[in-house]
Amino acid sequence: MLVVGPSGSGKDTLIGLSRDALIDDRRFIFPRRVITRTAQADAEDHDTMDLEHFEKAEADGYFALSWGAHGLRYGITRASLASLEEGATAIINVSRKVIGAAEALGHRVTILSIVCDPALLAERIARRGRESTDEISKRLKREAPVDVSSARLIEIRNETKPEDVSGAFIDAIRSA
């Protein structure tokens, strides 16, 4: 299950709520991302790797999926997806750029596309305090279509309280 959507759409929040709700259900896993960013209190919990080590790991095939975005590198390790072979479903926040690569891994893929009104996205991004108004504006102008070839696509609007949307998000995970 690949969770995609623009910054500020609430992907990490919805993933966190579903992780909490499904914590005792071994059918669902939530692999940690490896990111070339140091840990931050207001950002996702992740494994940190410097760029040099990341690029070496990537060249050595350590990652099942990897991509670059916003000046950072992101990866999902092959080891973290091992339980897919036993039928588990992985719920992962990824870039829309890697949908094709994920489809090529040979597992059933469902895309959960989180959408939100642009004005609300801008407000949420500004609240994080990591980007200037100009940077937020540029980010929101980028077109990033969700292109799938074999994956199932589910769209979820996240414009209210996360708790109001998490039920639909969890239902989509269970239906994968």
The DSSP annotation for 124-148 comes to HHHHHTSS-HHHHHHHHH-------
pLDDT tens string 39-76:
665 556 678 899 999 999 999 999 999 999 878 999 99
3-class SS of residue 149 = coil
Please indicate whether residue 106 or residue 54 has the higher confidence score (pLDDT).
Answer: 54
Where in the sequence is the domain holding 162, given as residue range(s)?
2-175
What's the residue count for the chain?
Answer: 176
- 3-state SS record for 14-41: HHHHHHHHCCCCCCEECCCCEECCCCCC
- What percentage of residues in the chain have a pLDDT greater than 70? 95
From residue 126, give the alpha-carbon distance in Å to each of 3, 58, 137, 146, 162: 22, 32, 10, 24, 18
- Tally of domains in the chain: 1
3-class SS of residue 151 = coil
Residue 169's CATH number: 3.40.50.300
